[in-house]
Chain A
Amino acid sequence: MSENKPESGPTVNPRVTWEGCSVLLDINDGDRLVFARLSAGSTLKIGNKTFSLQPLIGCPFGSLFQVESGKEKPYLSRFIPPTEENNVQDEGGCQLQEESRDNRAIIDNNQAQSLTGDDIDAMRRQGATGNEIVEALIANSATFDKKTQFSQEKYRLKKQKKYAPRVLLRRPFSRSICEAYFKKYPARIGFLRVDTLSLLLSMANVTANSDVLVLDMVGGLVTGAVAERLGGSGSVCNTYLGGTPYPMEIIRMFNFNNEICKRVLRCSVNDLCAVQNETSEQVSQREDVCTMESQSDEKTSLSVSTEEVHLSSKNGILDLVPENELSTTGKTCKAPKAGEKAPKEAIQSWKENGFTSLIIAAPEQDAWILVKDLLPLLTYSAPFAIYHQYLQPLAKCMHNLQLEKMAIGLQLSEPWLREYQVLPSRTHPCMQMSGSGGYILSGTRAYSNTSQS
């Protein structure tokens, strides 16, 4: 398994978890999503019980776990869904035409279930598995047989989620991280939907060996997504206005190896725009300030995590921050951390060659003010993409770019994403969908005689 660790060379696509690895846990088919770091001591709370995450270490991503009642206490165990179940479902689909049952005989009088809460507790004490409880509930339901095949399936699923919850082990990728945040805390990522994120990366032509300038006020999601596409080559410069870098705690959710982390650098807009002939004294002064900044940033990101626990427990959805969080942070400090201050040579190289792409995701800033300063840092013919949760700032920005003749190929677009339920004879668009994933202004920097070089 050791060759799967990202530290051991160019393997960027590990398929098995390891100790200290960041994972996304999908509980009961998307009902709850939790980020966790696997260690012997880390735990997950489901309902009122706490489970050790130890059994998840060394398992392939994509593995499913189910709660088993152990001798002392319940634990998580690998679960492989029987294939027969699928066959039953298929038959269900074929029989659908003959379905004559409907809900005319179902009366909501709360008497359909003859098992009481005490009965279930007693079963549990005797060591019944979750699945046995589900079967018992079905056997003791007076109305189960009267339900249609479809609603029988729904009933079973509902009970299974409660009495035999399942945990799916997922790899944290841009896709899953963005989807999880969009579902749980959309405001923290500026309501940036996964399809919009994918378009930003394409429109900005992010690829290996590019030098990407990013203004990321969405928690580090865009910076992380860019670093993932660079795969340990090129560079991503996370820039910021003023003296304090923006938080990028989301980058810790990716399992980036040292090679990838080294490519994530930070540099203020002022430093990028400053004249080139700067004395080394000034640079070293600035470096001092920055070391302090990154320390204070560490503190803020920690406090963010605690807040997360507080916030989520209030909503009854627990967001997992493993108890060993502090020690983990201490350990990673030795290895190169994503988001070091950009060294002088890197800044020099960016100034001489220009960035090859620009992405701005500052959902609360005026796009035009940012673009005016950042666009000249791009090499000619470099593409850019600007995200905003509102249309108007981008419309204004597009108009000004046209007037100033700073860019060509300008396009203002909005992605639209619809999911479908696909089932035998029951295919239709999902009843609920996201109404907006935000807007994108994209274009290409043009060379004009007035451009500064």
Chain B
Amino acid sequence: MLLMDSSTKISFNRCIRDGDLVIVYERHDTMKAVKVCENSVLQNRFGVFKHSDWIGKPFGSKVFSNKGGFVYLLAPTPELWTLVLSHRTQILYIADISFVIMYLEVVPGCLVLESGTGSGSLTTSFARAVSPMGHVYTFDFHEQRAASAREDFERTGISTLVTVGVRDIQGDGFPDQFSGLADSVFLDLPQPWLAIPSARNMLKQDGTLCSFSPCIEQVQRSCETLRSDFTDIRTLEILLRMYEVREWKMDHSKVDDGNSTACPPRKRRQPSSEASVGDNASSPAVMARPSAETRGHTGYLTFARKCVS
């Protein structure tokens, strides 16, 4: 997934090969990760797609099924991966992920500690940010979940950047071997305040910490614990509002005679209460409005910086 060496880099000259991981795109909300395998087929509501038809085509191509239906084949990115990965836990989405990476000041070469691993959605973006020299050590107390995450990182080709450990960070803290070496620590735990003293010991001076919690009570307790050894403690919430865009044929008939409906001979395609003055022809206009249903809360992000002694 990441551009670890030039042979994997997508370019005009790099075509899909046997064994590549591709994202099969039906619609912006219907995607699937598929490993290309010469003798294999993909079956969905559009028909049967032969993988052998895909090999040799550039990424981003439209490919057709036996019934003439089509999908696009995309090169995987952490953003696309977040949309297709199997949810073993509640995951972090793009707005929180982007903000966490930037606010923790994660750059290439950083050492990042994370717990829990969960479904590995954020881990994948951490790996992208620390690549090529840095490393992400991620811990989950659930053995099976850790194993699934490891398989995923193998599949997406980031396993050289990520090490998954099985450990109860709330109970046992991070392993001592990282003491004073971490540039950043990320906590997504039910009782983050239990892990904060250990996180403090792992961090370099002025190192950054982030704790993600859905509930304000968790934030309250975490902040109380943070106050002793951390500075610049800030709690924020980020959401992403999506917009729908469509073209409207505005009804520009005059309203001054109070008899506007009689004016246009053609049928009104879209109901519109906004009849503007001045224009006499109905012209198409592109309009945007926020999507009707949206996510109202993901979690609170509490950031802090280890005090310099």
Q: Which A residues are within 8 Å of any B CB, using their own CB?
A: 10-13, 15, 60-64, 80-81, 83, 86, 89-90, 93, 171, 173-175, 194-195, 197-199, 201-203, 205, 207-210, 228-234, 352-354, 356, 379-383, 391-392, 394-396, 398-399, 408-420, 422, 424, 427, 439, 444-448, 453
Contact = CB atoms under 8 A, between A and B. Distances in A.
A446 B108 CA distance: 29
A174 B242 CA distance: 25
A197 to B, nearest CB: 7
Contacts of B97: 202
Q: Counting chain A CB atoms within 10 Å of each CB, which of B4, B238, B305 scores highest?
A: B238
Contacts of B305: 62
Contacts of A447: 57-62
A444 B58 CA distance: 14
Contacts of B105: 171, 173-175
B78 interface: yes
A210 B216 CA distance: 39
B95 interface: yes
B119 interface: no
Contact of A408 (B57, B72, B125, B128): B72
**Nearest 5 pairs between A and B by C-beta?**
A231-B108, A380-B60, A62-B206, A381-B60, A353-B11
Contacts of B9: 209, 353, 356
Contacts of A171: 105, 206
B194 interface: no
28 contacts: A62-B231, A62-B307, A81-B307, A93-B224, A173-B105, A195-B95, A195-B99, A199-B98, A202-B79, A202-B101, A205-B78, A207-B131, A208-B2, A209-B6, A231-B108, A353-B13, A379-B10, A379-B12, A379-B59, A380-B10, A380-B59, A394-B288, A395-B245, A412-B243, A417-B99, A419-B234, A419-B236, A422-B223
Contacts of B108: 12, 208, 229-233
B241 interface: yes
A414 B240 contact: yes
B95 A90 contact: no
A413 B90 CA distance: 22
A207 B239 CA distance: 24
A197 B99 CA distance: 9
B288 A417 contact: no
A444 B27 CA distance: 12
B192 to A, nearest CB: 13
Given A198-B99, A203-B94, A399 B286 contact: yes
Interface of B: 2-6, 9-14, 25, 28, 57-62, 72-75, 77-79, 94-95, 97-99, 101-103, 105, 107-110, 125, 128-129, 131-133, 183, 204-206, 216, 219-220, 223-224, 227-228, 231, 233-243, 245-247, 286-288, 300, 302, 305-309
A399 B245 contact: yes
Contacts of A383: 77, 79
A196 to B, nearest CB: 9
A381 B58 CA distance: 8
A10 B109 contact: yes
A233 B231 CA distance: 33
A415 B62 contact: no
A198 B10 contact: no
Contact of B28 (A379, A411, A453): A411
Contact of B12 (A62, A194, A352, A446): A352
A445 B94 CA distance: 19
B12 A409 contact: no
A238 B43 CA distance: 43
B238 A12 contact: no
A13 B106 CA distance: 10
A81 to B, nearest CB: 8
A195 B132 contact: no
Contacts of A412: 242-243, 245, 288
A427 B220 contact: yes
A398 B287 CA distance: 11
Contacts, number: 236
Given A62-B307, A80-B309, A197-B102, A395 B243 contact: yes
Contacts of A207: 2-3, 128-129, 131
Q: Counting chain A CB atoms within 10 Å of each CB, which of B11, B206, B237 scores highest?
A: B11
A352 to B, nearest CB: 7
Contact of B227 (A15, A89, A391): A89
Contacts of B242: 411-413
Contacts of B235: 419-420, 422
Given A12-B108, A13-B110, A86-B227, A415 B239 contact: yes
Nearest to A233: B132
A391 B290 CA distance: 11
B283 to A, nearest CB: 13
A396 B3 CA distance: 33
Contacts of B240: 199, 413-416
A422 B241 CA distance: 25
A90 B221 CA distance: 12
B209 to A, nearest CB: 13
Nearest to B244: A412
A426 to B, nearest CB: 10
A164 to B, nearest CB: 17
Contacts of B62: 446-448
B25 A409 contact: yes
B247 A399 contact: yes
A372 to B, nearest CB: 16
A205 B98 CA distance: 11
Given A203-B94, A352-B13, A399-B246, 16 more contacts: A10-B109, A12-B109, A15-B206, A64-B308, A89-B227, A175-B105, A195-B102, A199-B94, A202-B78, A202-B98, A209-B3, A209-B4, A395-B288, A419-B237, A424-B224, A427-B216
Contacts of A209: 2-6, 9, 131-132
Contacts of B101: 198, 201-202
Given A61-B206, A62-B206, A356-B3, A416 B234 contact: no
Given A205-B79, A232-B108, A86 B132 contact: no
Given A197-B102, A232-B108, A410-B28, A395 B3 contact: no
Given A410-B28, A416-B239, A353 B107 contact: no
